[in-house]
Amino acid sequence: MPELRPVHGGTDSLPQPRHDFSSNANPLGPCPAVLAAIRRADLTRYPDPMYTQLRGRLGEFHQVSPERIVVGAGASELILRLIRRSSGTIRQLVPTFSEYARGAHLMRRRVSSVHSPRAFLRAQERDPGLGFLCWPNNPTGDAWPLEFIAAAAAGPLVVDLAYAPLCEGSAAAGIERAAARAYRLYSPNKAFGLTGVRGAYLIAPRIERHLALDAPSWVIGRDAVALLESGAGRPAQRWLEQSLPRVRRWRTGLAGSLRDMGLTVSEGPATFLLVRVGEATRIAAGLRGRGIRVRDCTSFGLPEWLRLSAQGPAAQKALLAVLKALL
Ligand SMILES: Cc1ncc(COP(=O)(O)O)c(C=O)c1O
């Protein structure tokens, strides 16, 4: 029986750590404009079961028909729904986000894991099924070439863009166009530092009413409606844009300090990086015992690596001191 228990970074059952490098959410969040909209949300009433106004707003934001937009209780819920509505093999380019394989196991579907874009395209040609590509990839930060994404989108494909809004602008330019023929998955709670609000959406390549209907009624609450609607607004987008240079400086600074310690670092255009520490589980446990949470990448098949998100100078100083002692 495959492992169905979710294995994620972020929250665990221990007390909140002093410094959290395990979550990839925007470290400068929560975004004030989005938080204010959530606080204004009237939680005494059900949301509109069709989410008409919200889908209209998101359609305008992405310049697509609102009828192609499907909202869900987080990208994880939408991943499960997409798998349930598809047929055949579930394909992934590993190492990657665990929910694609977990969803496949829950739905008793075959999982095909490949290790390179070329192998992905070859396998897709033989057996289309449904492919998942994460851009930029969690945990490696790989921003797959846009030509590869466009070629893969010729078959049934989901492009998970959870961290795309947190990427350097030049890297992110063009991904929407490259993925235009795929299901595009958006999870704005990360960019706005509000992962506790369970709301996300997808843009389907064509109108598919069954996808929106294959969920419990009122699948997202008014707090999530407020997050998604205000997240597409000018104040939230401006805040996000302004936050990124600082977060990027934190990431490159952290990468530099780790390299100065003689460690191998792998960086992409997103706000997190990978560092090779040897026994990742032991090091992660040692850090956790000293109030610092990191993501042990063993469950991704990378037992020597930790994933670290960009955090501020005080958090970095604490991390580097404990890491030096543990190594
Ligand atoms: C790549 C990726 N996609 C989707 C998700 C899940 O997002 P949500 O919080 O919207 O369920 C995560 C969460 O870690 C993720 O890393």
**Distance from Cα 76 to the centre of ligand 1, integer Å:** 6
pLDDT 10s digits, 108-124: 999 999 999 999 999 99
Backbone dihedral angles phi then psi of residue 53, each to the nearest 5 degrees:
-65, -40
9: pLDDT strictly greater than 90? no
pLDDT 10s digits, 162-171: 999 999 777 7
Among the residue ranges 149-158, 167-176, 300-309, the one predicted with the least confidence is 167-176
Q: Which residue in 32, 41, 26 sits closest to 225, CA to CA?
A: 41
pLDDT 10s digits, 172-214: 789 999 999 999 999 999 999 999 999 999 999 999 999 999 9
Give residue ranges with CB within 6 A of ligand 1.
8, 74-76, 97, 134, 138, 160, 162, 187, 189, 195, 200
> Looking at residues 35-49, what average pLDDT do you find?
98
pLDDT of res. 1: 44
43 versus 3: which is more confidently predicted?
43
pLDDT 10s digits, 231-285: 999 999 999 999 999 999 999 999 999 999 999 999 999 999 999 999 999 999 9
148: pLDDT strictly greater than 80? yes
Q: Which residue type does 153 have?
A: A
pLDDT of res. 7: 65
Q: Which residue in 244, 287, 262, 318 sits closest to 9, CA to CA?
A: 287
pLDDT of res. 169: 76
Mutate to test the pocket of ligand 1, among 76, 94, 198 (most ligand atoms within 8 A of CB): 76
Pairwise CA distance, residues 175 & 19, whole Å: 32
pLDDT of res. 11: 61
pLDDT of res. 120: 98
**266 CA to centre of own chain:** 18
Pairwise CA distance, residues 317 & 291, whole Å: 13
Task: For residue 104, count other CB atoms closer than 10 A to its CB.
Answer: 25
8: pLDDT strictly greater than 70? no
Mutate to test the pocket of ligand 1, among 79, 187, 228 (most ligand atoms within 8 A of CB): 187
Cα end-to-end span (Å), the chain:
36
Nearest-5° Cα angle at 94, 301 to 86: 125
Q: What is the DSSP string of 82-143?
A: HHHH--S-EEEESS--THHHHHHHHTT--EEEESSHHHHHHHHHH--SEEEEESSPTTT---
pLDDT of res. 6: 65
**Distance from Cα 267 to the centre of ligand 1, integer Å:** 19
40: pLDDT strictly greater than 50? yes
Backbone dihedral angles phi then psi of residue 320, each to the nearest 5 degrees:
-65, -35
> Looking at residues 76-103, what average pLDDT do you find?
97
**Distance from Cα 260 to the centre of ligand 1, integer Å:** 31
- Closest ligand 1 atom to residue 187 Cα is 10
Q: What is the DSSP string of 239-280?
A: HHHHHHHHHHHHHHHHHHHHHHTT--EEE-SSSEEEEE-SSH
pLDDT of res. 171: 74
Mutate to test the pocket of ligand 1, among 77, 102, 138, 163 (most ligand atoms within 8 A of CB): 138
H or E segment at 326?
A: helix 313-326
Pairwise CA distance, residues 163 & 272, whole Å: 10
pLDDT of res. 173: 80
Quote the mean pLDDT of the chain: 95
Task: For residue 302, count other CB atoms closer than 10 A to its CB.
Answer: 19
14: pLDDT strictly greater than 80? no
> Looking at residues 56-68, what average pLDDT do you find?
97
